Amino acid sequence: MSNNKIIDLGSSEDPLVLDCGKSIGPIKTAFTTYGELNETKSNAILVCHALTGDQYVASEHPITKKDGWWSLLIGPEKSIDTNKYFVICPNVIGGCMGSTGPNEINPKTGKEYGLDFPVVTIGDMVKAQKLLIDSFGIEKLFSVIGGSMGGMLVLEWLSKFPSYVFSAIPIATTTNHSAQNIALNELARQAIMADPEWKSGNYNIENTKPVKGLSVARMAAHISYLSEQSLHEKFGRNLQNKNKIEFSFDADFQVESYLRHQGFKFVDRFDANSYLYITRAMDYFDLKAENNGSLIEAFKNTNAHILCASFTSDWLYPTSENKVIIKAFNALGLNVSFVEIETDNGHDSFLLDEPEFFQTIKGFLDATYKKL
């Protein structure tokens, strides 16, 4: 059973102070819970979503009507067993599914924030998540779990609020973006802002929508989530519903049609300005720079049980970057495990049906729960 809620956190008198120096308050956080919190409040698992994810982690999405993005992993008798654990998944601030973000109303003006919304960071997102966890009276999370940007949020929890985390599972992630990562995000942002319907971020006020720009942004990002092998196996150079090329700029190839479909179905559920803000937060994330150039300094106060997972075909956040995290944890003598899953599914592997990955998550959580 799931519960979907939106609550106000903080206040105008006690606002959330952001890393950019500005403050917002109160803030809204939209979240979904699964399972029941036990009497000692020791069975809570915080699930952190990736860039284009949201709080509907294991329940039907209200817009797409599709199953939650981790429905294969979370639920009764599944790897994250909701008969046993209390799962909380919030939409990050800056998001577009009910949490305070650029498409929400600014209480000071009564108008939509748009680009007046302050730039937020991964750290700000975690501070907002902590307010939510505090509202439950939870003093220590049994686990914090997330992949990709969600993994960044996990690492931020370990760094900034280590006493709150008993165990953690950062998946297919990094401690900072490479120049290539930043370049890909900038390509996506420029695609959105180049769309004349973007209207300098005021498209909702002017009753337009940068559909084409946001679609292209999604197409570019989606390529980075796949591997060359998976694209080759799925599409190769196969033509789309035709026997020969047409010497035009229509979608001759199946892969072109696939990307266009991915782009245009994305615009129905995601806000263009949120895409700008969240990708910016990811680009700014740099745990090493924030801690005098030392990841050991970043994690010096954590004592959590940790499982790190990566995937062989992930070129966006490759195993080598995950091993940098492992090296820091090992240097601190932490209880850490690492698994690299063999797969051709690329970065998106953590969202797909990967039985070895699911079994690893279940085994780690079951073994760690016994140590409470």
**Is the previous residue joined to 26 through a cis bond, with omega within 30 degrees of 0?**
yes
Which class for 109: exposed (0-12), middle (13-18), buried (19 or more C-beta within 10 A)? exposed
- DSSP-derived letter for residue 92 is P
> According to CATH, where is 1.10.1740.110 located in the chain?
181-279
Per-residue pLDDT band for 121 (boundaries 50, 70, 90) equals: very high
| Statement: residue 14 has pLDDT above 70 | yes
| Residue 144 contacts residue 151 (beta carbons within 8 Å) | no
Q: Are strands 86-90 and 44-48 parallel, antiparallel or unpaired?
A: parallel
> According to CATH, where is 3.40.50.1820 located in the chain?
2-179+284-369
| Residue 307 contacts residue 326 (beta carbons within 8 Å) | no
**62 SS3 class:** coil
Averaged pLDDT, 186-201? 98
Residue 1's pLDDT is 63
In sequence order, the β-bridge partners of residue 4 are 32
| Statement: residue 54 has pLDDT above 90 | yes
Residue 284's pLDDT is 98
Averaged pLDDT, 330-345? 97
- Residue position matching structure tokens 């220590």: 140
The reported pTM is 0.97
Selection from 113, 87, 104, 79 nearest residue 29 by Cα: 104
Mean pLDDT of the chain: 96
Catalytic residue positions? 148, 314, 347
| Statement: residue 231 has pLDDT above 70 | yes
Residue 25's pLDDT is 87
| Statement: residue 257 has pLDDT above 90 | yes
**306 SS3 class:** strand
- Write down the CATH number for the domain with range 181-279: 1.10.1740.110
- Let me know how many helices (H) and strands (E) the chain has, helices first: 11, 14
* Per-residue pLDDT reduced to its tens digit, 75-113: 999 999 999 999 999 999 999 999 999 999 988 889 999
* Per-residue pLDDT reduced to its tens digit, 151-177: 999 999 999 999 999 999 999 999 999
Least-confidence region, from 40-49, 246-255, 350-359? 246-255
| Statement: residue 13 has pLDDT above 90 | no
CATH topology classification for 2-179+284-369: Rossmann fold (3.40.50)
Averaged pLDDT, 129-139? 97
- Rg of the chain over Cα atoms, rounded to whole angstroms, equals 20
| Residue 164 contacts residue 53 (beta carbons within 8 Å) | no
